A = this chain, B = another copy of it.
């Protein structure tokens, strides 16, 4: 474990929520943190300058996609992902395990790793716990993820057990490989991943095992895979109790305001999701009173801004009528502005969350936020 990797600033008296800071090779990251997703080395429809302007200190990229195109060697030759994409702050890369697992009939999970065929050209590839670490070292990730095996909501115990056994085994192998690279100067951190599906004993076993591995941080996987929200909340809370308080915790693939608030309540520090930028491209804007679908006829002559309580440059500038117009006309600008607003909205919500935690009023903030957000009164 790296000394002082994570410092907790303040634990809210009314929940497990806490603020802190993670010290990473490309700068400090304040927590809780929402990390936008830049799958292929760019967050869709935004420039790196937009992301800096909003205030993000870390973004995600995807190992599977970058491995296939342009290839990790090319990114490495460019000087790593930061140099390639000209993002000077931190990158977290996932291991590609989830993407490869999603290929279902194009992949085979073996004891040593996952054999799969490329969705681009059908070519054969093999991901092992070791070569996935190597790839992420080439990308120069600030936080990298172990290769794990996912399992869907509602699978039989046997499948969940196998996924867990392999994930645990691969965590150990990944850490060993990662240590070799740190000895040669690589400064990124490796997070192992808790699995165990929705079986309490497997979750507990996995959490305790992952926590014992001595890494500086860890991730909670296998949630938000189709289960109802209350199951997500229950299993998340259940899992967290077996993890050291002192480590930063990352729950993968969540990004709606509701899930973020639940995760923060549970003591989660990091989350990511493609959803805010994906729905933006479909004309859905975050509003503090709910989701606003800009295509609606009622906005045709609405010359007010999206959300008068939002301070982003979209809300300081454009009317709903104009944003509706460019959405209907399928202008690229619509995706650009909606993506900007949605990420600004979430980041700004995170800033409020941090303030609320620091003043021991997070649960009150959460209650008020959700009350407004579910009112739909815009």
Q: What residues make up the interface of A, taking CB atoms closer than 8 Å to B?
A: 40-42, 44-47, 65, 69-70, 74, 77-78, 84-86, 300-301, 303, 317-319, 321-322, 324-326, 328-329, 331-333, 335-337
Kindly list chain B residues whose C-beta atoms are within 8 Å of the C-beta of A329.
Answer: 40, 65, 69
User: Are B328 and A69 interface neighbours, CB within 8 A?
Assistant: yes
> Which residue of the partner chain B has the closest CB to A339?
B332
User: Are A325 and B77 interface neighbours, CB within 8 A?
Assistant: no
A301 to B42, CA, bound (A): 18
User: Are B326 and A84 interface neighbours, CB within 8 A?
Assistant: no
User: Are A85 and B322 interface neighbours, CB within 8 A?
Assistant: yes
Residue in B78, B324, B336 whose CB lies within 8 Å of A332 = B336
User: Are A319 and B40 interface neighbours, CB within 8 A?
Assistant: no
User: Are A322 and B47 interface neighbours, CB within 8 A?
Assistant: no
Whether A333 touches B44, Cβ cut-off 8 Å, given contacts A70-B300, A86-B318, is: yes
Specify the main secondary structure of chain A where it touches its partner: loop
Kindly list chain B residues whose C-beta atoms are within 8 Å of the C-beta of A317.
Answer: 86
Kindly list chain B residues whose C-beta atoms are within 8 Å of the C-beta of A303.
Answer: 77-78
> Which residue of the partner chain B has the closest CB to A85?
B322
A85 to B319, CA, bound (A): 9
Copies of this chain per assembly: 2
Kindly list chain B residues whose C-beta atoms are within 8 Å of the C-beta of A77.
Answer: 301, 303
Kindly list chain B residues whose C-beta atoms are within 8 Å of the C-beta of A335.
Answer: 332
Give the residue among A45, A77, A328, A332 with the most B Cβ atoms within 10 A. A332
> Which residue of the partner chain B has the closest CB to A281?
B332
User: Are B300 and A333 interface neighbours, CB within 8 A?
Assistant: no
A329 to B70, CA, bound (A): 9
- A302 CB to closest chain B CB (Å) equals 10
A337 to B317, CA, bound (A): 22
Q: What are 27 sample pairs from A and B whose C-beta atoms fall under 8 A apart?
A: A40-B326, A40-B331, A41-B322, A41-B325, A41-B326, A42-B333, A44-B331, A44-B332, A44-B333, A45-B336, A46-B333, A47-B333, A47-B337, A65-B329, A70-B300, A70-B324, A70-B328, A74-B300, A74-B321, A77-B303, A78-B303, A78-B322, A84-B321, A84-B325, A86-B317, A86-B318, A332-B336
User: Are B84 and A333 interface neighbours, CB within 8 A?
Assistant: no
User: Are A42 and B319 interface neighbours, CB within 8 A?
Assistant: no
Kindly list chain B residues whose C-beta atoms are within 8 Å of the C-beta of A325.
Answer: 40-41, 69-70, 74, 84
> Which residue of the partner chain B has the closest CB to A314?
B47
